[in-house]
Amino acid sequence: MKYGNAKLRYTRTYHLLCKGSINNIKGIFLLDTGASISCLDLEKKAHYGIDSVGETIEAMDASGNNISASPTGLCRLKLGRYYIGEHPFMLFDMSSINSGLAENKCSPVDGFIGGSLLKELGAQIDYRTMTLRFGLQS
């Protein structure tokens, strides 16, 4: 198997961030190993040229609050400079997350990469070198 890697950096709140792109449009993504799915900010839907598919569902955020989320079709994902493949995301209003980051003098994020995708990629976080290592599709 071939591997790729992406540089990571901390926010002031010690969240890990990774540069990447969705449909060839650059963005900043939070790594969320505790999230079951990967999500994009609903406000970025047009920016990334994606559409909702299927029905809106009720989900729960990390604080236990109910949120509405809509699935996307497959999106072309890159982490760092490596093409990962096509993956679906969930769209939801991330304004509370980005507001919390702003209150701590952190820049907003476009979405987050969830634990299920990280597991699928066999991802490893090297905290010493601040690098995310992951498997690439052949």
Statement: residue 34 has pLDDT above 90? no
Is the CA virtual torsion 69, 70, 71, 77 positive or negative? Answer: negative
DSSP assignments along 68-100, one per residue: EEEEB--EEEEETTEEEEEE--EEE--HHHHHH
Kindly give, in sequence order, each residue whose CB lies less than 8 Å from that of residue 46, ignoring residues fewer than 6 positions away.
none
Mean pLDDT of 23-38: 93
138 pLDDT higher than 70: no
pLDDT at 40 over 70: yes
Residues in a beta bridge with 124: 133
61-82: per-residue pLDDT in tens? 666 677 788 999 999 999 999 9
pLDDT computed for residue 55 by the predictor: 84
Question: Which residues are paired to 134 by β-bridges?
Answer: 4
* pLDDT the model gives residue 43: 93
Residue ranges of domains in the chain, CATH in brackets? 3-135 (2.40.70.10)
| Burial class (CB within 10 angstroms; exposed 0-12, middle 13-18, buried 19+) of 128 | exposed
